[in-house]
Amino acid sequence: MLGGLQVSFGLNPLTGTGFYWFVLAIVAACSLLSWYVLVSQTGKAIQAIGRNPGRAAAMGYRVPHYRVALTIYASLIASLGGWLYALQTSFVFIDLLGVGQLHQRPRLRPDRRRRHDPRSAARRRQSCAH
């Protein structure tokens, strides 16, 4: 598959102000939807779960269901942001995905490596005993 700029929804991401109006419309729609959810009865339940999940469960709210729904909603907002970013840049960098950092462990510099010192272990045991 060859890369390049392609028009998406009739908008070229690198020319004109149409793309910025499109982003503004998406952000406004997400903000209005979030506001609507927060002022509804569902939003009151979400706020109660955030303050005290045990009490919300005692009131009859299904806390795990609300948490799953909130996670899905947050991932939808995040995916929209990533989609808009990819539309703007016309490229997705591998560093943004975090794939390269999956199996790398942070390494200590050679002068900062921990060495086994029996005296320091004995000192730590004595200080904990007091």
Domain boundaries defined on the chain? 18-98
Task: Round to whole Å and give the CA distance between 116 and 127.
Answer: 18
Whole-angstrom CA distances from 108 to 103, 111, 112, 113, 115 are: 16, 8, 6, 6, 12
The 10s digit of each residue's pLDDT in 67-104 is 999 999 999 999 999 888 887 777 777 776 666 655 55
Q: Cβ–Cβ contacts within 10 Å for residue 82, how many?
A: 13
The 10s digit of each residue's pLDDT in 9-54 is 665 655 667 788 888 999 999 999 999 999 999 999 999 999 999 9
Which residue pairs from 72-75 have beta carbons closer than 8 angstroms and sit at least 24 positions apart in sequence?
73/37
Closest-CA residue to 38 (of 47, 25, 29): 47
pLDDT at 77: 95
Are the CB atoms for 89 and 42 separated by under 8 Å?
Answer: no
Q: Cβ–Cβ contacts within 10 Å for residue 111, how many?
A: 5
